[in-house]
Amino acid sequence: MTNVAVIGAQWGDEGKGKVVDWLASRADVVVRFQGGHNAGHTLVVGNETYKLSLLPSGLVRGKLGVIGNGVVVDPEALLAEIARVQGQGLKVSPETLRISESATLILPFHPALDKAREAARGDAKIGTTGRGIGPAYEDRVARRAIRVADLAEPETMALKLDELLRHYNTLLRELGVETFTKEAMLAHLLALAPKILPFAEPVWERLDTLRKEGKRILFEGAQAVMLDVDHGTYPFVTSSNTVASAAASGSGVGPWAVGFVLGIAKAYTTRVGSGPFPTELFDETGRKLGERGFEFGTVTGRPRRCGWFDAAMVRQAVKIGGIQGLVLTKLDVLDGMPELKICTGYRINGERSRHLPAGMAAQAAALPEYETIEGWSGSCRGARSWVDLPAQAIKYVRRIEELVEAPITLVSTSPERDDTIMVRDPFEG
């Protein structure tokens, strides 16, 4: 048996929450390794819908959840999320949730700057959620961040606040935004400390022990490869590394411990926020995909942009992300569509390309080249085996498999956790 890392293979919102929930039934621990509460996973379990942003999805299955050092944690958002899911009947306590003592905290001045910067960009805005993720990661790299462990050291927090507020208040004043005082921020942190510290520990040590005991570890990523800060459609990306290798650095395990890398992709393509989207549809078909797929951001509620499946982009994500098997979700959304298109490459300034380039202008200029495939009249909804799928739907899946150069491991046919076709068991490696 092997561990499994789950990452997005498009621009996020691919249905990772359901897949992680489904896999968690056979895992012992689920680890969130990057991002913050700018990502959201929606899990549908019977008549209950859970919307998670920071909590690892495995908690819904009663599994141990771990928030790794690669995550930036808004303590107020985390406590509110814990209270919300507890109200839905989930048990969340220091026995079921552990947080890395090295994780960076998101504090009130982070979203304040995030929103002010985005407003100042005007038409050139990136599409950030305004939740302070980027500024918090900036503090980590600049070596001025307040981390979970610092909550136990008031003197350390006071010292760090001097530098942080000097930095943030200067920027906020320049942008015409209200500033923060050291006294108020220190009181805020001291009030949070007894609520957060019981969850804190060196999670790398726990994960090492679990690995030696032969326990199955499921690593859960947020966002997706094409939003990776290095490899995505920069600058319209998130502020962390979303590729599978980040599972190791973001949780404190060796790269060999990450195990089988499972990429998640919708049977079509969506994106939230600004940035290039070669296969985006602005017509009735795009509207229909959005309505059928209930395409609204879990965190922001913003409608997602919709388009045809981009095999060239997913192939790129497969290579960069180290994806060994692909999950295709929301196949049922395409039911009844007479004709489908798959992007096989791009035309960029008259030249053909099989990948999205790194340059911002070149990305914006990318025009899709399509292959047309006949749709199907039957229904994929709720299918749990290949024999339940229309023949043409199977052809569509197989063609995607060829174009992205990665085997289809799982197919999801509805939001329900058990409406899943397993072709290959990821835990078998």
Please give the single-letter amino acid code of residue 186.
L
The catalytically annotated residue of 13, 74, 114, 310 is 13
Which residue carries 């040590």 as its tokens? 205
* 158 CB neighbour count, 10 Å cutoff: 15
Q: What are the phi and psi torsion angles at 400 (to 5°)?
A: -60, -45
Sign of CA dihedral 222, 413, 422, 390: negative
11 and 280 Cβ atoms separated by less than 8 Å: no
Token couple for 189: 């942190």
**Beta-strand relationship, 48-52 and 41-45:** antiparallel
Q: In the chain, what is the straight-line distance between the N-terminal and C-terminal CA atoms, in Å?
A: 7
**Beta-strand relationship, 4-8 and 217-220:** parallel
Residues 6+ apart with CB under 8 A from 231: 225, 243, 320
Any catalytic annotation for residue 41? yes
Task: Locate all alpha helices (DSSP H) within 250-390, ordered by sequence.
Answer: 284-292, 311-321, 360-365
Please give the single-letter amino acid code of residue 290.
G
Which residue carries 């805020």 as its tokens? 188
Any catalytic annotation for residue 355? no
The catalytically annotated residue of 37, 41, 110, 231 is 41
Q: DSSP for 88-128?
A: TT---STTTEEEETTPEEP-THHHHHHHHHHHHHGGG----
Task: Locate all alpha helices (DSSP H) within 293-359, ordered by sequence.
Answer: 311-321
**Beta-strand relationship, 41-45 and 260-266:** unpaired
Q: How far is CA 218 from the centre of its chain?
A: 14
CA distance 295 to 167: 38
The catalytic site residues sit at 13, 41
